[in-house]
Amino acid sequence: MYVILLGLPGAGKGTQAALLKDEIGLAHVTTGELFRENIRLGTDLGKQAQPYVESGRLVPDEITIGMLLDRISQPDVARGCMLDGFPRTLEQARALDEALAADGKRLDRAIYIRVATDELVRRLAGRWSCPQCGAVYHETNQPPKQPGICDNCGSQLYQREDDKPEAVRTRLEVNLKNLDPLLDYYRQQGKLCEADGEGEVEAVSRALRNCLEGER
Ligand code: AMP
């Protein structure tokens, strides 16, 4: 099964993908995390992506598409996965469809997690992330048990460069511009399912499971 999670930054795609991964065993592939890992490791790809990622702009399609197609061709995700943060442009959406079709596969569902912009700004500004395991926390909504320390692995939490106010504004603008065409693209294919992303984590998760079970 191939599923896409669509939503603006801060909508909860990562949180929900991690929950679904545990519940239904669908592997989680996230382009943001792939870029951050390459930046940490100082790879060529990381060096190319870094200025875009840190300022909140989209990494160019030719870099992003190559990285993602390479990732989903690997054995651990060969039977399907949940994509989080990809596609973010129509070009990326088309490239994914073509690559899956070339392999005799297809995308099953695109789930849009809907959250109002004001709420997203609030969420991103208070977000702290774990550099080691990728877990995310929120200062007030979902604080770690011990301030500044990851519950899962004990690493020191940090605030992502692109969760700082200026980059947050750029990320939301860029993603807003690209979102509607993507929603239309999947709506026309009859694959789009919308989930209200403003409730409790558990309620959002239920809405996502309904989408996966085919309730549109
Ligand atoms: P995220 O963790 O999904 O918010 O992604 C962090 C950053 O990685 C984004 O602001 C972009 O700079 C870059 N990025 C992630 N996914 C994509 C994508 N599909 N296309 C272009 N850039 C991306």
pLDDT in tens, 103-156: 999 999 999 999 998 889 888 888 999 999 889 999 988 899 999 999 999 999
Residue 185 domain flag: yes
pLDDT score for 166: 80
Residue 162 domain flag: no
Residue 150 domain flag: no
- Work out the end-to-end distance of the chain between its first and last CA atoms, rounded to an integer number of angstroms: 17
pLDDT score for 67: 96
- Cα of 130 vs centre of ligand 1, distance in Å, is 17
Catalytic center residues: 13, 88, 127, 160, 171
Residue 149 domain flag: no
User: What is the CATH classification number for the domain harbouring 186?
Assistant: 3.40.50.300
Residue pair 111/4 in contact by the 8 Å Cβ criterion:
yes
Which atom of ligand 1 is found nearest the CA of 171? 10
pLDDT band at 30 (very low <50, low <70, confident <90, very high): very high
**Number of domains observed in the structure of the chain:** 1
pLDDT score for 216: 47
Average pLDDT over residues 174-186: 94
- Cβ of 151: how many Cβ atoms within 10 Å? 15
Instruction: Tell me the residue range of the domain where 182 lies.
Output: 2-116+177-215
The long-range contacts involving 178-185, CB below 8 angstroms and separated by at least 24 positions, are 178/58, 178/88, 178/89, 178/90, 179/6, 179/8, 181/90, 182/6, 182/87, 182/88, 182/89, 182/90, 182/93, 183/6, 183/112, 185/90, 185/93
The pTM of the full predicted model, rounded to 2 decimals, is 0.86
* Ligand 1 pocket, residue 85 CB under 6 Å: yes
* Ligand 1 pocket, residue 167 CB under 6 Å: no
* Ligand 1 pocket, residue 13 CB under 6 Å: no
Residue 145 domain flag: no
Residue 128 domain flag: no
Is 14's pLDDT higher than 60? yes
Residue 169 domain flag: no
Residue 84 domain flag: yes
pLDDT in tens, 144-168: 999 999 999 999 999 988 888 788 8
Q: Tell me the percentage of the chain whose pLDDT exceeds 70.
A: 99
